[in-house]
Structure 1
């Protein structure tokens, strides 16, 4: 036995020829495949790659739905706008109504104060007239025909008539007025003679024939004067002496004393 037999050998084991041949064949096939792929590669790379993406097609129903949705959106926007305008108009109207109410209240208050003041003045005037009625005029008055001094009749009836008439001086003339603060001509004459217990007709025409016709040449205090024809007179007054008469003249003058010389009467009647 060799002295080196126990030392392991460092040689690589030999490969069999069949295994080498197999490996060579596999390698050759791989290389052939790579060569074919390399030859075909440039031709393939030269061709562009394209791809078509198809979008979904809108159907008629879907188009209708889209249109309806857009219409609904537009209607909603219009509705909101109209509502906003209505709210603004309502607020403006409420503000104006509040202002108008305040103005009306101020005017009503001013009118109330004016009415109260007018009533106060009227009360003062009535009180003054009442005091005047208690004072009967007994002073002498000249005759209209002779100019001599005549006394107011002492019977009291004529005095009551004259006193009442003078207490109404300054009152307003109102067509159809029968007092206590406004009169027409025949209304004042009728009310004056009621103080003496004499009931006269209401109108000037009727009053011009209600007593004894005395003409205008021999007048006495308390005679009723009329203008126009007897039975068709258009105005009446009462003679108070000194060539004067008292009447509810017209809207411009009211109840006043006037001179016969400026407006001569047509006739006169006597009831007292």
Structure 2
């Protein structure tokens, strides 16, 4: 018994000595590589501070809806241009997301949320794979939501009537990262390709004014306001569960393309009329 007690005392003494040695000799501690904390950074990097309270932007950026905006940003900016219809669709989606965040969180400033979402859209530094895998973690067991996002990306990419190679690659990557079934993806892809290959530009100017619901004497500002309103009314809301089973091609794309074609036709008509009358066009 005495021997065991003596051994215990020795072990405790050695432990205390080793602990003191650890405290007073920093070079013997495990070193943190520079890749974890950037060198010469005076402020503590809150990204690695597990006790830091995340900001509103961080909460949104790292949440499901912020990731959607980040993914859409990658698609919209990959070809270096955003057409007017694509811009309006993205703006409407950002507003839908802001409304969802308002309903599901304690955040109360809608305009502030919209500003944060715009910041995310304009400045997304994570790569597409990281964004998509993070989104996949939020949508485990929600295959229809994943599929709807891919479908919506196709509708955005085709907003200008053409799917570019770089846009196609982004959508293919997202579909792969989200584990979209090949059969489901091919059907979506073929539906959009067939729809746009069969589009004919046979609309007359009078039909264009009728579709937009404006008069020939209306000014450009009123016509644009009406265009934005119609796009808003007919854009797909991919956040709503009731939209998950509906086809964007069947319920939204045809209407949006007619609205967009009418608007472009009226803009060209107005420009020709202004030039004919010797007026300046904006």
- Give me the TM-score of the superposition, normalised by structure 2: 0.26
The higher radius of gyration belongs to: 1
Structure with the largest fraction of helix: 2
Which has the bigger relative contact order, CA under 8 A and spacing at least 6?
2
Structure with the largest fraction of strand: 1
- Give me the TM-score of the superposition, normalised by structure 1: 0.26
